[in-house]
Structure 1
Amino acid sequence: MSSPEQQLAPPVPEPLPATPDLLTGAAPSGTVERTPTGRWPGTPRPSRLLADGVKSALAQPVATATAALVVAIVCLVVFATTGQSAAAERAVMDRIDGAGTRLVTAFDQSGNAHMQARGVEDLARLDSVSWAFALGSVTDVRNADTGGLSPGVALRPLFGGLPPALEVITGRAPREGEAVVGVDAARTLGLADGVGIVTDGPRSWPVVGVYEAAGPLASLSSGVLVPSPTTPLPPSGPGTSAGAAPPVEARYLYAMATDVGAVDPLAAALPAVVPAAEPRQITVETPDGALVLREVVAGELGASSRQLMAVVLGVGLALITITMLGAVAGRRRDFGRRRALGATRTAIIVLVLVQTGAAALAGVVLGVGGGLAVVHRLTGNLPDPTFTAGVATLAVLIALAGAVPPALAAAHRDPVRILRVP
């Protein structure tokens, strides 16, 4: 039988089961056990943080649209200023790099090097060479149809085929044993239509076309070229033996490097690749003046545009910071509730950064698309793809950097003070 005190004592309620925070998985205050998923209290879940950050961006359309607009304006200004300069720089560099800065020339001025023509085939196989050809010794030829009364021009054997830098403008490309004349030589010989015969007296070659050379090869427009084999023909006739013919020699060799960076290695390797009796007698020339000009032009065009881009990005960083400060201030009670329920400071920082990143991506898509259209409209060219990707990446990074101070401020606020009812 119970005493009167026991009969009057109120019943002790049973404790409610602990319910972790749905966002962070944090256990209620006063417990330190791990959650059923094995996480420590307050550990953020990346997938839920990412989803919640995107929802937060959609839930604050004004702040998100403002941040996206700032990023888009930054991209537009960068493309309208620095992007225009980058497009112009790319056009200038493409013109400089067309041939003048990548052509390597080797020649046997005295004829004592005995440079073999078959070396052009080995040279053309190198990965750093776009194309290569060689020229042999000069033969003076005239128009056979004028009875030898026309002025003479220089004919050279061509080894390695007609290069792309020599464009056939009349007729067709020559085969072995046929001749093609340069535009200046065609006027001299009276063969502007690209049809006729040239002769040096004992030998004759049919003319099948006219070519035009420009840039560093412009001097070849005043001559005649005849494709020839790079190895000697087998001897024929009575009393001859195999291997009696000497190797075919070339006097000039031209090689086009794949890019500017391959010019110096190609020039260094060229004497070793091309067989010669006296390799030291081979003179190798590189376009040093054009390379210096390229560096100067690239530096002058890029310096001012990079400074302007830095200013624009700095202004964008300040505007993003101000925008996100306002967005964070509008959600201070939400962040306070999360902190009171056990959300970590890291979770709050990630939420702010994800919200900013979503806005920045939308702004980059809009700004880069509009910027490329503006640059193409103004210059007719587009910036290098690496420049476009760099601007997009910098814009996103600037937005995230601008959101760091507001995110830190939101994470370090006292949740008790935020949730206190006045």
Structure 2
Amino acid sequence: MRITELVREILASARAQKVSTIMVALLAAAMCATTLLTVGRAAAAEQQVQARLDAAGSRTLAITDSASAGFLTRDVIAQIGTLDVAERAVGLTSAIDVTTATVGRGGERVASWQVVGDIPDVAILVRGRWPLPGEAIVSATAMSALALDAPVGAITSTTGVTYPVVGQFTARDPFTNIAGGVLINASTGTAARTLHVIATTPSAVPSLQSAVLTTLDQPLQNIQLDSPADLAQLQSDVMGDLTAYGRGLMLMVLGAGALLTAIVVLADVLLHRTDLGRRRALGAPRWVIVSLVTGRAAIAGAMGAILGTTATAIALASAGHAPVPTFAAGTGVLAVLAAAVAALPPAVAASHNDPVRVLRTP
């Protein structure tokens, strides 16, 4: 039998046996809907947790020069920034209060930091230009506190040093502590108090920590280390638990749907065993019988999967929880495969029935 003829026979059989076709389709639709409503929501929650754990704050290694030894120089920071496991590295000095230069020490005080490294690694320029060494940029909050109408003018530190203001910035994640202050491009030779190194991924934190400590080559008593290595391990454990939960739930849903589909197909095979026996008696090989039964289940499963996936996805999207398209498509494919695989045992059993015994009249 040709493939085209077999396909026509499968379609005709599916149309003729409407009850079993509809039941298999409904089971496939139920599998898709249940999976998207349970495993799909769990997958969405897993992505949200992953995004939060992958935020820069959970990947930041902070090293403080607790002995004020001055080893966090611009060259050292630049070298650490070139590590394969480092996304960016920047140093900050201790915070110093500044006031508007025209007002002097009696004005409103705002915290400022000198940046040793590339300022774009900690800030986003909103107005003006990037500062040269010895120049400053201010945040919107600092600009308001310093009574500046625009990000221009000058500020004076409590140590008496004046810095021209040349722009306005917003802080990049994870440098939220500087969001309301002033950033000063450190002059050549200035050493940072704290080094912030952001790993490329949470799993790279242990490797980054080892590489940074090796590069610095400083006694441990000179260093205060704030590492997210434990958080990275916790992330790995949490994501592993969420993934295992999602897989287990999906296997349970697909397994239950496949079992019910197998029961429906078995009942249909028993009900139409005379028709299948007639085909065998007329010379149809066993593989044709198997293909006929499984193909009918696969077609019904495909119709149900399309219906269930589309309807559930629309309902979830209207509620603000749209599933990931690839996950929804994969769910439909798995439902069709589950229906086809579930139909195999009854199909194989039907193909091995003796046609003479099946067609024998009482």
- TM-score calculated relative to the size of structure 2: 0.79
What is the match of residue 145 of structure 1? Answer: 102
Kindly report which structure 2 residues correspond to 1:5-404, keeping only aligned pairs within 5 A, or say none: 23=1, 48-49=2-3, 52-53=6-7, 55-61=9-15, 62=18, 63-112=20-69, 114-136=71-93, 141-150=98-107, 151=109, 153-163=111-121, 166-167=123-124, 171-172=127-128, 174-177=130-133, 178-182=135-139, 185-186=142-143, 188-191=145-148, 193-200=150-157, 201-212=160-171, 216-228=174-186, 232=188, 249-272=191-214, 274=215, 276=216, 278=218, 281-288=222-229, 290-291=231-232, 294=235, 309-329=250-270, 331-340=272-281, 343-378=284-319, 380-384=320-324, 387-388=327-328, 390-404=330-344
CA distance in 1, matches of 2:249, 2:161: 69
CA distance in 2, matches of 1:193, 1:307: 58
Deviation at 1:183, TM superposition (A): 5.1
- The 8 Å contact of residues 294 and 340 in structure 2, kept in 1 or not, is answered as yes
Q: One-letter code of the match for 2:154?
A: I
Structure 2 regions of 5+ residues with no counterpart?
none
- The 8 Å contact of residues 213 and 220 in structure 1, kept in 2 or not, is answered as no
Q: 1:111 to 1:100 in 2, by over 3 A?
A: same
Question: Which deviates more, 276-285 or 311-320?
Answer: 276-285
Deviation at 1:71, TM superposition (A): 0.6
Q: One-letter code of the match for 2:201?
A: D
**Per the alignment, in what secondary structure is the counterpart of residue 56 of structure 2?**
coil
The percentage of counterpart residues that share the same residue type is: 32
Q: 1:227 to 1:50 in 2, by over 3 A?
A: farther
Specify the structure having the higher radius of gyration (Cα).
1
CA distance in 1, matches of 2:260, 2:78: 61
Question: Which deviates more, 247-256 or 300-309?
Answer: 300-309
CA offsets 1:10-67 (integer angstroms, 9 cap, x no match): xxxxxxxxxxxxx2xxxxxxxxxxxxxxxxxxxxxxxx45861564134322233432
What is the match of residue 411 of structure 1? Answer: 351
CA distance in 2, matches of 1:384, 1:352: 33
CA distance in 2, matches of 1:417, 1:160: 86
Deviation at 1:184, TM superposition (A): 5.3
CA offsets 1:340-390 (integer angstroms, 9 cap, x no match): 455543443343323322332333233222232222223x24345664355
Q: 1:212 to 1:160 in 2, by over 3 A?
A: closer
CA distance in 1, matches of 2:346, 2:25: 17
CA distance in 2, matches of 1:362, 1:92: 34
- The 8 Å contact of residues 180 and 209 in structure 1, kept in 2 or not, is answered as yes
Deviation at 1:227, TM superposition (A): 3.4
**Per the alignment, in what secondary structure is the counterpart of residue 112 of structure 2?**
strand
- The 8 Å contact of residues 53 and 352 in structure 1, kept in 2 or not, is answered as no
CA distance in 1, matches of 2:96, 2:288: 83
CA offsets 1:107-132 (integer angstroms, 9 cap, x no match): 32223361332344444455544443
Give the alignment's Cα RMSD to 1 decimal. Answer: 3.6
